[in-house]
């Protein structure tokens, strides 16, 4: 095995990367071994390539299929849905069956969004390389894995060889120090970071999140934080594994067991970056200064504290930024300088690989308990297991009594590929990660926020500071365990 950086202090990223280099080229391109390859319905291009070449999958044991992007959330009967959507799901079934892959299909008790299922099943572990033909694969970096999204031809390459050519990105550390205030969540931390550094602020870099506020996050919170790495332009985002990580992994279906678990923990602890390791860039944020955040525009960087007003492009010195803001406000139907809390919403969506884990649902339920939603909304748990747990805790009753729809697991209204769409010109308070034009449906308008903030928007019918609504209520963070 060739080591690209065999000596000197190394970061977490360096250590995991170096362990996976099969061979390195003069130009810096390294052939990496891939430990986990996750596939969703979008993988059909790659399977077509395989078929055209008559190739086989190199490591079917490391390759997993998951039905999520196109799955219906109000029925599990493929005969009852749009045949074109059902075809996408059947294609993945046929392709995974033809190659003998483990598939988490619609009816699997562990089905869900790929980035929720991986961690939940113990497929996602510290020190691994994890790829998926999906830009939010960085989510898995919460465990100290190098995880990133790849394109269709790379998916085919990994299927055929279980390796991938990669150039080592630059390293960037984002430290968040101190304590988050009550009612401020990992989502607010992530959106604050993106607002601070910009949607391309981490371009060309592998991010490592560190600092006491990051350490204090539960695994659910860490997954939310790493999920948004790509929205800051990062190649991937990682957090060094610690006791929180190991406690989450223990007893998961695919996790190592017994002595093997203990041996793994010893190895995982050694992955932490050396104290004197050097980063190409470092950004430091004060956790105490982070407020509940909402987006007002058409990029995740168009984010501001809920207590703020929409920006005024006429007061901006940078003409490019002013032009973007003008365009964003126009698309979103918001006045320059309008207080964000005045913005009325038409519906809410609580779900997606960003914010659909049990802790997210608990936070939303804490705000909604005993209250009615003024607007319609959809709550889609991240997996069938999250759904079951939420029902055991009675959270589904809180959502339904508030007047929201409680549906099955999938990407759902995050991207609308399954038909769960926000109608044109409607405004949605959404716990997702992308607010691009038309993201939730043609002409739809998306405001990104935390689950508690989306719940508060449902209760009041407009963007709302949820803190007074949360006062005195138990949030039930698993991080408190
Ligand atoms: C459809 C899929 C490939 C896409 C992605 O790459 O991320 C989707 O998951 C998204 O969030 O936009
Ligand atoms: S939930 Fe949304 S962001 Fe996540 S993988 Fe699905 S479509 Fe992409």
Average pLDDT of the chain is 96
CATH architecture of 12-166+254-263: 2-Layer Sandwich (3.30)
pLDDT per position as a tens digit, 165-187: 999 999 999 999 999 999 999 99
Residue 446 phi/psi, 5-degree rounding, is -115, 135
Report CA(135)–ligand 1 centroid distance (Å).
6
pLDDT at 7 over 90: no
Residue 357, classed as helix, strand or coil, is: coil
Residue 199, classed as helix, strand or coil, is: coil
Residue 40 CB less than 6 A away from ligand 1: no
Place of tokens 């017994």: 258
Per cent of the chain over pLDDT 90 is 96
* Nearest CA owner, ligand 1 atom 8: 134
- DSSP assignment letter at 282: E
pLDDT per position as a tens digit, 125-143: 999 999 999 999 999 999 9
CA distance linking residue 406 with residue 81, whole number of Å = 18
pLDDT band at 479 (very low <50, low <70, confident <90, very high): very low
Place of tokens 């034009």: 437
Residue 283 CB less than 6 A away from ligand 1: no
Mean pLDDT, residues 398-415: 98
Mean pLDDT, residues 217-244: 98
pLDDT at 475: 78
- The topology (CATH level 3) of 293-476 is Aconitase; domain 3 (3.30.499)
pLDDT band at 472 (very low <50, low <70, confident <90, very high): confident
* Residue 353 assigned as binding residue: yes
pLDDT at 38: 99
pLDDT at 471 over 90: no
pLDDT at 476 over 80: no
pLDDT band at 1 (very low <50, low <70, confident <90, very high): very low
pLDDT at 33: 99
**Closest approach atom of ligand 2 to CA 139:** 4
**Closest approach atom of ligand 2 to CA 356:** 1
pLDDT per position as a tens digit, 246-269: 999 999 999 999 999 999 999 999
pLDDT at 194 over 90: yes
* Residue 428 assigned as binding residue: no
pLDDT per position as a tens digit, 145-171: 999 999 999 999 999 999 999 999 999
Mean pLDDT, residues 369-392: 98
Tell which one of 353, 379, 433 to mutate to probe ligand 2, the residue whose CB is within 8 A of the most ligand atoms. Answer: 353
pLDDT band at 474 (very low <50, low <70, confident <90, very high): confident
CA distance linking residue 450 with residue 466, whole number of Å = 10
3-state helix, strand, coil in the chain (%, to 5): 40, 20, 45
pLDDT at 380 over 60: yes
pLDDT at 6: 54
**Closest approach atom of ligand 1 to CA 149:** 6
Residue 433 CB less than 6 A away from ligand 2: yes
Tell which one of 134, 300, 414 to mutate to probe ligand 1, the residue whose CB is within 8 A of the most ligand atoms. Answer: 134
CATH architecture of 170-241+273-288: 3-Layer(aba) Sandwich (3.40)
**Closest approach atom of ligand 2 to CA 354:** 4
Mean pLDDT, residues 304-309: 98
Query: Would you kindly state where each structural domain of the chain is located, as residue ranges?
Result: 12-166+254-263, 170-241+273-288, 293-476
Report CA(390)–ligand 2 centroid distance (Å).
21
pLDDT band at 412 (very low <50, low <70, confident <90, very high): very high
Residue 411 CB less than 6 A away from ligand 2: yes
Domains 12-166+254-263 and 170-241+273-288 share a fold: no
* Residue 414 assigned as binding residue: yes
pLDDT at 46: 98
pLDDT at 480 over 50: no
CA distances from 185 to 86, 179, 431, 450 (A): 36, 11, 12, 7
């Amino acid at each position: 095995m060739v080591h690209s950086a065999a000596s000197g202090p190394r970061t977490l990223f360096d250590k995991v990367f170096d362990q996976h280099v099969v061979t390195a080229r003069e130009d810096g391109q390294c052939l990496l071994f891939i430990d986990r390859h996750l596939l969703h319905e979008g993988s059909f291009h790659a399977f077509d390539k395989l078929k055209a070449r008559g190739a086989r999958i190199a490591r079917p044991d490391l390759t997993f299929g998951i039905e999520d992007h196109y799955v219906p959330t109000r029925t599990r009967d493929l005969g009852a849905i749009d045949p074109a959507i059902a075809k996408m799901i059947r294609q993945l079934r046929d392709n995974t069956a033809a190659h003998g892959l483990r598939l988490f299909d619609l009816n699997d008790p562990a089905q869900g969004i790929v980035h929720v299922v991986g961690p939940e099943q113990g497929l996602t572990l510290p020190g691994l390389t994890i790829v998926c033909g999906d830009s939010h694969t960085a989510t898995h970096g919460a465990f100290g894995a190098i995880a990133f999204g790849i394109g269709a031809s790379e998916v085919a390459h990994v299927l055929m060889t279980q390796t991938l050519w990669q150039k080592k990105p630059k390293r960037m550390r984002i430290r968040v120090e101190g304590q988050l205030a009550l009612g401020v969540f990992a989502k607010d931390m992530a959106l604050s970071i993106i607002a601070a550094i910009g949607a391309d602020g981490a371009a060309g870099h592998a991010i490592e999140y560190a600092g006491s506020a990051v350490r204090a996050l539960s695994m659910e919170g860490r997954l939310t934080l790493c999920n948004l790495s790509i929205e800051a332009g990062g190649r991937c985002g990682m957090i060094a594994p610690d006791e929180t990580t190991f406690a989450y992994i223990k007893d998961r279906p695919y996790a190592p067991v017994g002595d093997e678990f203990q041996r793994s923990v010893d190895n995982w602890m050694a992955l932490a970056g050396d104290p004197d390791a050097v980063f190409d860039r470092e950004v430091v944020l004060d956790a105490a200064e982070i407020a509940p955040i909402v987006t007002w525009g058409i990029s995740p960087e168009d984010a501001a504290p809920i207590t703020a007003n929409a920006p005024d492009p006429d007061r901006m010195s940078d003409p490019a930024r002013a032009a973007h803001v003008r365009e964003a406000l126009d698309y979103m139907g918001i006045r320059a300088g309008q207080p964000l809390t005045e913005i009325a919403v038409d519906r809410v969506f609580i779900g997606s690989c960003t914010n659909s884990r049990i802790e997210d649902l608990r936070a939303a339920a804490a705000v909604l308990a005993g209250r009615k939603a003024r607007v319609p909304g959809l709550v889609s748990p991240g997996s069938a297991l999250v759904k079951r747990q939420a029902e055991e805790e009675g959270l589904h009753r809180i959502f339904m009594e508030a007047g929201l729809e409680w549906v099955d697991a999938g990407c759902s209204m995050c991207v609308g590929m399954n038909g769960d769409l926000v109608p044109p010109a409607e405004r949605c308070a959404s716990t997702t990660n992308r607010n691009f034009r038309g993201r939730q449906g043609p002409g739809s308008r998306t405001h990104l926020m935390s689950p508690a903030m989306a719940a508060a928007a449902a209760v009041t019918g407009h963007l709302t500071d949820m803190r007074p609504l949360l006062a005195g209520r138990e949030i039930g963070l698993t991080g408190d365990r």
